[in-house]
Amino acid sequence: MALALASTVSLTGLIGNIIDVEVDISDGLPGYILLGLPDAALNESKDRVRAALVNSGESWPNKKVTVSLSPAWLPKSGSAFDLPIAITLLMAQGQVPKDEVGKCVYLGELALDGQVREVRGVLPAVLAAKKSGFIKALVPFKNYAEAKCVSGIEIIAIESLRDALHYLRNGEVPNFPEQIAISDSDYFLDLCDVAGQVGARKALEIAAIGGHHLLFIGPPGTGKTMLAERIPSILPPLSEESILEVTAIHSIAGTLPDRELLSKLPPFVAPHHTTTAPAMIGGGAHAIRPGATSLAHQGVLFIDEAPECARGVLDSLRQPLESGNVTISRAVGSVTYPARFMLVLAANPCPCGRFSGRGRSCTCTQIAIRRYLQRLSGPLLDRIDIRVFVDSPSRIEMASDELGESSAVVRDRVIAARAIADERFIGSNWKLNSQIPPSELRKRFRAEKMGMNFLHTELDNERLSARGFHKVLRISWSIADSKGHIIPNRDDVESAFRLREGMELLA
C-alpha cells in the first residue's frame, strides 16, 4: 500500500479552507474513487489528471486509486484540485519526493497535454495559505502576478506539470516575472468634461465625502451618466487592505482582466437595467459567485434607467445598503461577501423623458408620470441619501470654453474632508459619515441646537421618517466637514435637508 498527502485550498466565498489531498494506491481491481463531496467539475478530474500525466511522460498506476479530500464534510468545487491530485498521486508512487506537511499548497487546472491553466480565486487562496502557516505556493504562471500580491509567502509559477515535477525533484525554480507594482494611474474620466451642472457637482462632492447614496433624475442627455461615471475620479485612493479585498473579490468572480491588478482606483460597476436579482446580489448552483453589489465593494454601483429594472431587482439592494454585506444561501451552503458601496441611480422624470422645469413638450399624463416614478419603491428611495434633479445645461454653459474644476481638485477637497472625519472617528468601527450608527447620532454626533430644532420640526410635520432624520444628520456632517465646521450648524442641516428632498441648493 502506498500513501501520500499534499495540501490545497478550497474557497467558500472569500474564506479559504485548507484541504488535505490524500491518495492511497492499493492492490485490487483498477479504479479511481474520489471522496469528499466533489462537484461535477471535480469529478471529471480523473480523466484530466490521467491524460496530463501520460502526456507528460509519467505513469498512471494500474491499481485501485482512492483520493480523499479532507475535511470530507466541506463541499468542494472547481478544477483547481487537478494539480494537487496529480502531484500527490506521483508522491504515492514514489516518483516525486513526499512533501513536508504544512509547507506548500498547490493550485491549478491541468490541460490534457500537461499544461497548467489559470484558475479563479488564487489571491484569497494564497492569503488563506499564508494565515495557516504555509511558506510556499505552486500556482499557474498566468496567476503569478495575482498571487505575488501576498507578501510573506514564496510564490512558484509553473506553466506545465513538467515544470512542477522538475522543481519538486531538483529544487530548481522556473523563471517568472517581477512582482507587479501598485498602480497609481489616474481615472481616465475627468469631472471637468461635464458642462455646467454646478448643483449636481456639489451634490457629487458631498456624496463622495460621506459615502452617501445618490439618485439623479432628469431628461435624457443632461449628463446623469457622465456625472456618475466620474465619481471614482473624486474618491480617495483605496488603502492597501481595501486593494487586496477588492482584488480578491474580482479574482473569485473572474473579472480581474477588466480591472488593473492592485489598482488604487475604487471600482465602478454598471450592470444593465435588464440584469437579474442573482446577477445583482450573487449566486450560483455549485460555486456561489459574487454579484454586482460585491464587485462594487469600496466603489460605486451605478444603475442607469433604474425604473426600467425588473420588479424586485432594485429592492434586493435594500438589505446590503443597510448592512454592507450580502449573505447568499444555496443548497451547497451559505456565503457572505462584503458589499459596502455607493449606490447611484439614474432615472428619467417620465416615460417620454421630456418632462422638466423648463416646460419641455412632455406628452405624458400626470398619472403616467406618477406610475413611472413609483417603479422605484418607497423603502428603496428612503435609503437614498441625496436626490438631485439634473436639467439640461444652458446655451451659455455649453458654448463656454472654460472648463469646470478637475477631478484632482475636487478629490483633494474630499480627502481633506475625510481626514477631518477620520480624527473624529478614532476608536470607532466606522470610517464614513454615512456609517455612523443611529444611537451615536443621537448621543455624540448631534448638530447645533438650532439645527436639531429644525430637524425635529420636520419630523413632527411628517416630512421626514426616522431613517430620513438620521440620513439628513449624516449628510449635515459631510457638509460641515467640507466647510471645516467643528459641528453642523443650522445652515448645514438645512442644506442637507434640501439635498435629501431633491431641492436646489441655496447659493
Number of neighbours of residue 183 by Cβ within 10 angstroms? 15
Contacts 24+ apart (CB under 8 A), 269-273: 269/295, 269/296, 269/299, 269/300, 269/301, 269/302, 269/341, 270/228, 270/229, 270/301, 270/302, 270/303, 270/304, 271/301, 271/303, 273/303, 273/304, 273/305, 273/306, 273/308, 273/309
The model's pLDDT over 130-183, given as tens digits with 9 standing for 90+, comes to 999 999 999 999 999 899 889 899 999 999 999 999 999 988 887 665 555 555
Does residue 438 contact residue 470 with C-beta atoms inside 8 Å?
Answer: yes
Lowest mean pLDDT among 37-41, 76-80, 171-175, 490-494: 171-175
Does residue 301 contact residue 342 with C-beta atoms inside 8 Å?
Answer: yes
Q: Is the pLDDT of residue 334 over 60?
A: yes
Q: What is the DSSP letter of 168?
A: H
Which pLDDT score is estimated for 504?
A: 65
Mean pLDDT, all residues of the chain: 89
Global pTM reads: 0.89
Which pLDDT score is estimated for 507?
A: 44
Rounded mean pLDDT, 31-36: 92
Which pLDDT score is estimated for 237?
A: 93
- Characterize the bridge pairing of strands 325-330 and 154-158: unpaired
The model's pLDDT over 193-223, given as tens digits with 9 standing for 90+, comes to 888 788 889 999 999 999 999 999 988 888 8
Backbone angles phi, psi at 6, to 5 degrees: -140, 170
Domains and CATH numbers, the chain: 2-170 (3.30.230.10), 191-404 (3.40.50.300)
Rounded mean pLDDT, 113-118: 94
Residue 360 binned pLDDT confidence (cut-offs 50, 70, 90): low
Rounded mean pLDDT, 345-353: 88
Lowest mean pLDDT among 31-35, 175-179, 270-274, 361-365: 175-179
Distance CA 40, CA 77 (A): 8
Q: Which residues contact 255 (CB under 8 A, 6 or more apart)?
A: 295
Share of the chain above pLDDT 70, in %: 94
The model's pLDDT over 235-283, given as tens digits with 9 standing for 90+, comes to 999 998 999 999 999 999 988 877 878 888 999 999 999 999 999 999 8
Distance CA 157, CA 147 (A): 9
The model's pLDDT over 56-88, given as tens digits with 9 standing for 90+, comes to 999 899 899 999 999 999 988 888 999 999 999
Q: Is the pLDDT of residue 298 over 50?
A: yes
Share of the chain above pLDDT 90, in %: 59
Rounded mean pLDDT, 7-19: 93
The model's pLDDT over 245-257, given as tens digits with 9 standing for 90+, comes to 999 999 999 888 7
Rounded mean pLDDT, 408-428: 93
Residue 503 binned pLDDT confidence (cut-offs 50, 70, 90): confident
The model's pLDDT over 371-383, given as tens digits with 9 standing for 90+, comes to 888 888 888 988 9
- Characterize the bridge pairing of strands 214-217 and 116-117: unpaired
Q: Is the pLDDT of residue 359 over 70?
A: no
Number of neighbours of residue 186 by Cβ within 10 angstroms? 13
Q: Is the pLDDT of residue 402 over 80?
A: no
Q: Please choose, from the candidates 341, 349, 369, the residue with its C-alpha nearest in 3D space to the C-alpha of residue 305.
A: 349
